[in-house]
Chain A
Amino acid sequence: MRDMVASQDKSLAQMRRGTLEYCVLALLRDEERYGFDLVKALGEADGMVTSEGTIYPLLSRLRRDGLVSTKWEESPSGPPRRYYRLTAKGQRALSEFVDEWQRFRDAVDRLMEGGRG
């Protein structure tokens, strides 16, 4: 029983992890954000982030892949902030994911409802 719970935890964590980068891209679709702000927004979404620091390796990877870009901007309070912005490539990747995600979500929903009925 415990093993089952553990494997469920693991697959949920993998699912979150797989979608996390698109959640980040989605948060940047309409506005630029700095790291702390991004992390806060993700933290508000239930269960997306358990350890805030793990977002930064992901951001670094997204920037490396050219899906986001950064620039420094003065902050109204405190030190300058590194702002993240979606690139054209990031926008394409995000819209592709959104299409895929809707199909995937619908398929999963249908199966879940069918299983219940």
Chain B
Amino acid sequence: MNTKTHPEIAEYVARLRTSMGDLAPERRDEIVSEIEEHIEEALAEMPSPTDADIRNLLERVGDPRTIAAEALERSVDDDLAERPPRRYPAAFLAFLRRHLRKILIALLSLVLGFAGFSAWYVTRFDPLHANLHGNPFRVATQTGRPLHVNTIDPVTARPFHAYSVEYRDKEWFEYGFTLANTSPFSVTVEEISVRPEGLFPSMQISISRESELATNPSRIAMRPLDAAFSIPAHSARYVVIRGTFTGCPFSGAGNTATAYLQKVRFRFLGVGRTEFLPLPYSIEFSGRTGCTGAGA
């Protein structure tokens, strides 16, 4: 029998080794191996030790903590395991060193997460919304009145406006909405264009200087949109788009076109994007009043 085969002795030696963790490894090894030798010598004197004999022997050798305490008491500085001083910066640095991998991974995840979020934010987050808040401009025609139906959007369950507009050749038609920037950054609007493409070959787009609540359209200062303009964070502009029906595009009976998206090219946080903003209403164009000739 030796110190490695008897489980109780092996466990004792392991405990002893752990208890002396504060000692320099070579000194700890020396003391542990001498105590192992001691136990082997003692075992050699017993022809067939019982479990009680073993326990008795280990009790005589002593509590590992007592031996470890004695070893620490008898130590000079060189005998101690090298440990970082426990002053704040050093202890902190030791903590950093010990957990370097975890800290680096955490930092990297943070950076990657932030980069990912930023990438998503500047390319996917929609800062602009077309709505009707405070906007007195709706859908209007030069002559006649557009058919207006208040309904409920079947998908969003919100109130929804549906307009039906008759095509009258050479007459103007206009629609307006509020272009709101709901982001905390300013958005530069570079171009507003109409869908369906080519429905109005000539279009004038005007924009308000400020978003202001007014029920009377004539009191809102509109100006033509001839250059890029910026909408500050959390503010809005009124947009009015006026086109002239030209070219009798609808051929054949019952043909219609429906507009419900507004194409806007803008720059958000340095990234140029083109988005199709859902309009707060849909406009259905139909008919071909004033159209003559073979195509009519």
Q: Is B67's CB under 8 angstroms from A51's CB? A: yes
Q: Which residues of B contact A39 (CB under 8 A)?
A: 38
Residue of B nearest to A80 (CB): B37
Name B42's contact: one of A36, A50, A51, A60 (CB within 8 Å).
A36
**Does A60 contact B71, Cβ atoms closer than 8 Å?**
yes
Q: Which residues of A contact B73 (CB under 8 A)?
A: 57
Residues of B within 8 A of A53 (CB): 16, 35, 38, 61-62, 64, 66-67
The reply to whether B70 and A58 contact each other, CB–CB distance below 8 Å, is: yes
Q: Which of B37, B44, B70 contacts A35 (CB 8 A)?
A: B37
| Whole-angstrom CA separation of A109 from B135 in the bound complex | 111
Does residue A102 face the partner (Cβ distance < 8 Å to B)? no
Is A47 interfacial (CB 8 A cutoff)?
no
B34 touches A35 (CB 8 A): yes
A-B contacts, CB under 8 A, total: 72
Residues on A lying within 8 angstroms of B by beta carbon are 34-36, 39, 50-54, 56-61, 64, 77-79, 81-82
In whole angstroms, what is the CA distance A17 to B66 when docked? 13
- Flag if B71 contacts A57 (CB, 8 Å): yes
Q: How large is the interface on B (under 10, 10 to 19, 20 to 34, 35 or more residues)?
A: 20 to 34
Query: B59-83: contact bitstring with A at CB < 8 Å (1 yes, 0 no)?
Result: 0111110110011011110010000
Known: A35-B34, A52-B61. A60 touches B67 (CB 8 A): no
Partner of B34, one of A59, A61, A78: A59
Cα distance A6–B16 when bound, in Å?
27
Residues of A within 8 A of B38 (CB): 35-36, 39, 52-53, 56
> Which secondary structure characterizes the binding site on chain A?
helix
Which chain B residues in 27-49 approach chain A with CB under 8 Å?
A: 27, 30-31, 34-35, 37-38, 40-42, 44
For residue A84, give the distance in angstroms from its CB to the closest CB of chain B: 10
If the complex has contacts A51-B62, A52-B62, are A57 and B37 also in contact, measured as CB distance less than 8 A?
no
- Assuming A36-B41, A77-B44, A78-B44, is B34 touching A51 (CB within 8 A)? no
Residue ranges of B at the interface with A (Cβ–Cβ < 8 Å) = 16, 27, 30-31, 34-35, 37-38, 40-42, 44, 60-64, 66-67, 70-71, 73-76, 79
Which residues in B have their C-beta under 8 angstroms from that of A82? 34, 37
Known: A52-B62, A56-B38, A60-B34. 7 other contacts (CB 8 A): A36-B38, A51-B60, A53-B67, A59-B34, A60-B30, A61-B79, A82-B37
B70 with A54: CB separation less than 8 A: yes
Q: Which of A35, A51, A79 contacts B63 (CB 8 A)?
A: A51
B residues in contact with A78, CB < 8 Å: 40-41, 44
Which one of A52, A64, A77, A81 lies within 8 Å of B37 (CB-CB)? A81
A51–B66 Cα gap in the complex (Å)?
A: 8
Report Cα–Cα, A59/B67, bound state, in Å. Answer: 12
Interchain CA distance A79-B36 in the complex, whole Å: 12
For A51, list chain B residues within 8 Å (CB): 60-63, 66-67, 70
A58 to chain B, nearest CB (A): 6
For the complex of A and B, the 10 pairs showing the least CB-CB separation, nearest first, are: A51-B62, A57-B71, A36-B41, A53-B62, A53-B67, A54-B70, A53-B61, A61-B74, A78-B44, A56-B34
- The CA-CA distance from A78 to B35 in the complex, in Å, is 16
Give which listed residue, B16, B37, B62, contacts A36 with CB less than 8 A.
B37
Closest to A21 in B: B74
Q: Which residue on A lies nearest to B72, using beta carbons?
A: A57
